[in-house]
Chains A and B, each alone.
Chain A
């Protein structure tokens, strides 16, 4: 039993790495997509809307297959891990763009007006006034999404990323025992999510003290 436990644990670093990288990709690329979504030019706006729609409504597993077997089997070869990071990252980007949009909509218009009246031009208005406040409002939804993402990374096992779910499946097939092993896997996922949730809650409270409404 102990041996089984360790072999599942071996998948943890990949689960964490995949979650972390996909989230980083999404949090960064979500920005330009959000901005395109708000653009005055219609084609730009439509492109962003299309991207968001595609990556939010097509299931992750389909994207991973499309990227790994589709893109990755042509001239460019992508490892399962890289394919998963790209796929999950783009899905995260689409969702983060929507989270940013919500956070921006929730901002008091007076903030924009005050910065404008002070002669602060668009770039600095966003960098120094809008975005820092948006990130604080976006934090709870972003964390909720990140925890969902952590669980969704299990899908990457299907293209051969050897993370927690992959290890569990392999073990179950080797030993013909199901229940115990999956309980262990469940506990591992909970154990990884918990610190996320705790840190996020703490950050939310501390930041909220400053941006009191």
Chain B
């Protein structure tokens, strides 16, 4: 079981408080969407969970691995954390000098120490799963944004993570290309993957995720079952935000 627990996590840049006492738990297999206005700390929260941005205080626990944010993290813990939690970025961040196949294989060889042949086989399997097996020998620059993001998902899945973090995975894509990424994510959710998705895709938040967390000004202002929050938000700030998003 790989539950995720975030206990009174705070993050500051100098005096500026970006995350203020964040608390939540996610059960294994749950899909949680984090929504909220820009600058509310959604992405920072996600990046704190895999220590891309080390929090200043609190506890992050993934499965039986527990990170005390005030202590200097041990390298072995960081390795375990990143192997357990995969991440997908808004701007894909594929390695432009490597073929699609090598993009997916690299971490398997360097982190899991899989032999190249075995890694490449596993990569092909994952590329088939995201519908891009025919692109394996291309360079990323030859792929569309939607394809690049699906490759990035395959790359993150290659370490066999127990949970996946998505940082606005469709924000850099036009609606049609975004849809093919959302489809892959929906399929992934159906396999029982634990997922935390920072997103502006309200339909995804409502239909695919089990729960929604609403953030504003570095705090969680609302948290609950997707349908309930999306249909009858309790706080005025959430109502205002959902109106703004839907009226576009």
Which A residues are closer than 8 A to B by beta carbons?
Answer: 108, 110-111, 113-121, 124, 128-129, 132-133, 136, 209-212
Encode B127-156 as 1/0 by CB contact (under 8 A) with A: 000000000000101000000000010011
The answer to the question of B241 belonging to the interface, with a C-beta cut-off of 8 Å to chain A, is no
The answer to the question of B2 belonging to the interface, with a C-beta cut-off of 8 Å to chain A, is no
18 residue pairs A–B, Cβ–Cβ below 8 Å: A108-B93, A110-B91, A111-B95, A117-B86, A117-B156, A118-B155, A118-B156, A119-B79, A119-B111, A120-B106, A120-B111, A121-B79, A121-B110, A129-B106, A133-B97, A210-B141, A212-B96, A212-B141
Q: How far is the CB of A87 from chain B (nearest CB, A)?
A: 34
The reply to whether B52 and A210 contact each other, CB–CB distance below 8 Å, is: no
Determine the residue in chain A with the shortest Cβ distance to B155: A118
Determine the residue in chain B with the shortest Cβ distance to A116: B52
The reply to whether A129 and B91 contact each other, CB–CB distance below 8 Å, is: no
The reply to whether B107 and A113 contact each other, CB–CB distance below 8 Å, is: no
What size tier do the contact residues of chain B reach?
A: 20 to 34
Determine the residue in chain A with the shortest Cβ distance to B83: A119
The reply to whether A211 and B89 contact each other, CB–CB distance below 8 Å, is: no
The 4 closest A-B pairs by CB, nearest first: A119-B82, A114-B93, A212-B141, A110-B93
The answer to the question of B67 belonging to the interface, with a C-beta cut-off of 8 Å to chain A, is no
Given contacts A111-B93, A210-B97, whether A117 and B106 have CB atoms under 8 Å apart is: no
Q: How far is the CB of A128 from chain B (nearest CB, A)?
A: 6
Q: From residue 47 to 90 of chain B, which have CB atoms closer than 8 A to chain A?
A: 50, 52, 75, 78-79, 82-83, 86-87, 89
Q: Report the separation of the CA atoms of residues A116 and B86 in the bound assembly, to the nearest whole angstrom.
A: 11
Given contacts A113-B89, A117-B50, whether A211 and B141 have CB atoms under 8 Å apart is: yes
The reply to whether A116 and B82 contact each other, CB–CB distance below 8 Å, is: yes
Given contacts A119-B111, A211-B141, whether A113 and B106 have CB atoms under 8 Å apart is: no
The reply to whether A119 and B107 contact each other, CB–CB distance below 8 Å, is: yes
Q: Report the separation of the CA atoms of residues A128 and B107 in the bound assembly, to the nearest whole angstrom.
A: 10
Q: What B residues does A121 contact at CB under 8 A?
A: 75, 79, 110
Most buried by A among B86, B106, B156, B159: B106
